[in-house]
Chain A
Amino acid sequence: DQQVKQNSPSLSVQEGRISILNCDYTNSMFDYFLWYKKYPAEGPTFLISISSIKDKNEDGRFTVFLNKSAKHLSLHIVPSQPGDSAVYFCAASANTGNQFYFGTGTSLTVIP
């Protein structure tokens, strides 16, 4: 039962352009969402989060958008850099629970 879905396993973007990574969820109780970045052989690194009371959160080159009615969030990276090449996971949690539910990840490649 995959409650958080990342339907694009991979994405390639030219350096300097915008990268848009998408994530959908099914549980309407989710109220906190996060994006993690993961390099091979390392643990996930926290990037940015958003609570359900907001629809946008920005941190430098990274912006997360939340569309609660569509149960959809996205991560925008602009401008994309080769060092951004990694696997990106979105995660969600509900205030009533302890678990974080992770998507299966999107592998981003930024082409120099």
Chain B
Amino acid sequence: NAGVMQNPRHLVRRRGQEARLRCSPMKGHSHVYWYRQLPEEGLKFMVYLQKENIIDESGMPKERFSAEFPKEGPSILRIQQVVRGDSAAYFCASSALRDGGETQYFGPGTRLLVL
């Protein structure tokens, strides 16, 4: 049973370029979450999606960031016109119900470096 998969693992972009990060949830999971971890900080929630629906995007920056989870294929986090401050580790998680709560299982992350 494959876990959460993310690609690429490392991504280098120059300022002004676009970054696309992909996430395939665990088999049978239809809920996807994106988090960002800046250096020396914890994980910060960005967005929660179900298939073809954005449920909660309260953690997304208002500009340049977007996310989707199409009916077919992986979830994509898209960052347009990247800036140096976007350099971070981006983690995707998918969820299952467990012990009365909802445990999220994480992928290995994509490390974005903006030059």
- Give the interface of A toward B (CB within 8 A): 4, 6, 31-32, 34, 36, 41-46, 49-51, 53, 57, 89, 91, 93, 97-105
Contacts and interface: CB of A to CB of B under 8 A. Distances in A.
B108 A42 contact: yes
A43 B42 contact: no
A44 B33 CA distance: 13
A98 B105 contact: no
A51 B99 CA distance: 8
B109 A34 contact: no
Interface residues of B, number: 30
Interface in B49-78: 55-56, 58-59
Contacts of B103: 34, 46, 49
Contacts of B27: none
Interface of B: 4, 6, 33, 35, 40-45, 48, 55-56, 58-59, 91, 93, 98-109, 111
A36 B111 CA distance: 19
Contacts of B4: 43
User: Closest 6 A-B residue pairs measured CB to CB?
Assistant: A32-B101, A43-B106, A104-B42, A102-B42, A102-B43, A98-B56
B56 A103 contact: no
Given A32-B101, A51-B100, A98-B55, A45 B42 contact: no
A53 B99 CA distance: 11
Nearest to A44: B106
Contacts of B106: 36, 43-46
Contact of B45 (A6, A34, A99): A99
B84 to A, nearest CB: 21
